Amino acid sequence: MLNVAVVRFPGSNSDFDALRSAERAGMRGYFVWHRESDLRGADFVILPGGFSYGDYLRAGAIARFSPVMQAVQKHAAAGGPVLGICNGFQILCESHLLPGALLRNAGQSFVSKPVDLTVERAGTPFTSGFEAGETVRLPVAHGEGRFAAGDETLRMLEAEGRVVLRYVPASEGSPLQPNPNGSARHIAGVSNAAGNVVGIMPHPERFGDPASPDDGARFFTSMAAWQPSSSKATR
């Protein structure tokens, strides 16, 4: 059975949803406190949403220095899959595991609503159950989700196919407001070059309940179907 470590920081608030979603997909989920330095044989690491350390200084900036993040860096360097959701994405950017930064929403307000997205990179351990180009609907809930990076970085992300999720532009007929935060190139999620580290602003774990559309649950069933060939090295 695959092990999913859900890291909890002071201020994490989507930790239980992430754990339950992992368990529903048939994996073994458990919490790892930010003071711990052992991921206890994790196949996957999830950095959940919330407001770690009250978003002091910048969202994710302080969490980066938690003892557990050393273990996460090591896990990622060995090819182990890491998913950062919302605040987790912000932490991954601050930790330089992913490029860019997440800034205050262009619309000056916190947005909490469903959005339509295109899954552009289907090859990651978290999106292998999707077809590239498929449209999904997921909730977002953030005040700082505007992805920003230098032009060179943005070009690199596009050229290397590292945009994992993109907000569907309005012209394609979505009834929902496109790009809720003013992200550069409508980017909602990116990966590292190898594809094992993924950060996304939307919350698939909040659509993990059997009563909700399965768009969220499929991120977790993708994980459950993943073959952990490379992460065993970190055990």
Partner 1 sequence: MSFRVHVRVMPRAGLLDPQGQAVEHALSALGFPDAGEVRVGRAIELDVAAGSRAEAEARARAMCDKLLANPVTEDYLVEVEGS
The residues binding partner 1 (CB under 8 A) are: 57-58, 61, 93-94, 100-101, 103-108, 146, 148-150, 182
Q: Point out the catalytic residue in the list 34, 75, 86, 144.
A: 86
Distances in Å between the alpha carbon of 147 and those of 4, 33, 82, 121, 168?
A: 27, 27, 19, 17, 15
Q: Residue 34 catalytic?
A: no
Is residue 71 within 8 Å of 105, Cβ to Cβ?
no
The 8-class DSSP code of residue 16 comes to H
Closest alpha carbon to 79 in 230, 190, 226:
230
What distance in Å separates the CA atoms of residue 1 and residue 145, rounded to the nearest whole number?
Answer: 34
Nearer to partner 1, 132 or 193 (CB): 193
Nearer to partner 1, 9 or 44 (CB): 9
Tokens 């969220």, located at residue: 216
Q: Point out the catalytic residue in the list 75, 142, 186, 203.
A: 203
Nearer to partner 1, 90 or 118 (CB): 90
Q: Point out the catalytic residue in the list 94, 120, 144, 205.
A: 205
- Determine the length of the chain: 235
Q: Residue 86 catalytic?
A: yes
The nearest distance, CB 107 to partner 1, in angstroms, is 7
Vertex 189: Cα angle to 185 and 192 (nearest 5) = 105
Q: Residue 93 catalytic?
A: no
Nearer to partner 1, 162 or 206 (CB): 162
The nearest distance, CB 8 to partner 1, in angstroms, is 22
The nearest distance, CB 154 to partner 1, in angstroms, is 11
Tokens of 173: 């007929």
Phi, psi dihedral angles at 89 (to 5 degrees): -65, -45
How do strand 187-191 and strand 163-167 relate by DSSP bridges?
A: antiparallel
Nearer to partner 1, 108 or 229 (CB): 108
The nearest distance, CB 101 to partner 1, in angstroms, is 4
The nearest distance, CB 106 to partner 1, in angstroms, is 6
- Specify which residues 147 forms β-bridges with: 102
The residues annotated as belonging to the active site are: 86, 203, 205
